Amino acid sequence: MKALYDLTPFTLLDFPNIPATIFWFAGCNLRCSYCYNPEIVLGSAHIDEETALAFLTKRIGLLEGVVLSGGEATLYPNLLPFCHSIKALGYKIKLDTNAMRPDVLQTLLNESLLDYVALDYKAPSSEMSRICAGGSEYRFWESFYLLQKHAVDFEVRTTFHPDLLNESQIIMMADALLQAGYTRSFYVQLFREGVETLGNLPSSKRIIDYVLLKRYVTLRT
């Protein structure tokens, strides 16, 4: 069964402290205007599970982790058995997710298949439709509380473009996380300029108030 749009053979940046590969799943249930993977979001899978697992088999002893990214990995209908196959080879799994499928996340957690999760906090409820063409902040919180309950290591991250969110909204989101008992870093990823995005966003010359934001969040470029 074809699962992946592409794979990145090696990364030291995407799975904390673990040499890993990235599996890029085709398709997504959101259309975030700042997304810099439009070809993956709108594309089709080219790589089947057998090819991906054969790659992992050859890298045993060289790699330790697999990052499930995309697109949105939780849309893949065969994700659960695929993860079991990855685990059977001895790899740790990190999931990058937009948090819109808490039902799938629940199943993965119940099966003890996840070692780390990067959870996207896209926007406050009032901005979800404008920024992501759909989605629900409520589903983000469902996913968030599942991770809190299962005590899985995870991070929360938001992409910042000043034409989409302002500093006050970022701080409001950070405060909401604090009130929910989140004590880890809240990563704000600055919009990647100079690349094609799903919404063809322009570059921005605005300067973020780093001093103010750093009281609440960790900035990531």
What are the pLDDT digits (tens) for 98-138? 999 999 999 999 999 999 999 999 999 999 999 999 999 99
Q: Encode pLDDT of 27-59 as tens digits.
A: 999 999 989 899 999 999 999 999 999 999 999
Q: Are 152 and 123 in contact (CB under 8 A)?
A: no
Q: Encode pLDDT of 194-221 as tens digits.
A: 677 787 877 665 545 544 565 667 766 5
Catalogue all structural domains in the chain, each as residue range(s) with its CATH number: 2-220 (3.20.20.70)
pTM: 0.93
Question: Both tokens of residue 189?
Answer: 């990823």
Which amino acid would we find at residue 194? G
Can you give the pLDDT at residue 161? Answer: 85
Which amino acid would we find at residue 81? P
Can you give the pLDDT at residue 167? Answer: 86
Average pLDDT, the chain: 91
Query: Cis peptide leading into 71, omega within 30 of 0?
Result: yes
Can you give the pLDDT at residue 131? Answer: 95
Give the strands of the sheet with 47-48, arranged side by side.
47-48, 2-11, 20-25, 65-70, 92-97, 116-120, 154-160, 186-190, 218-220
Can you give the pLDDT at residue 139? Answer: 97
Q: How far apart are CA 131 and CA 165, in angstroms?
A: 9
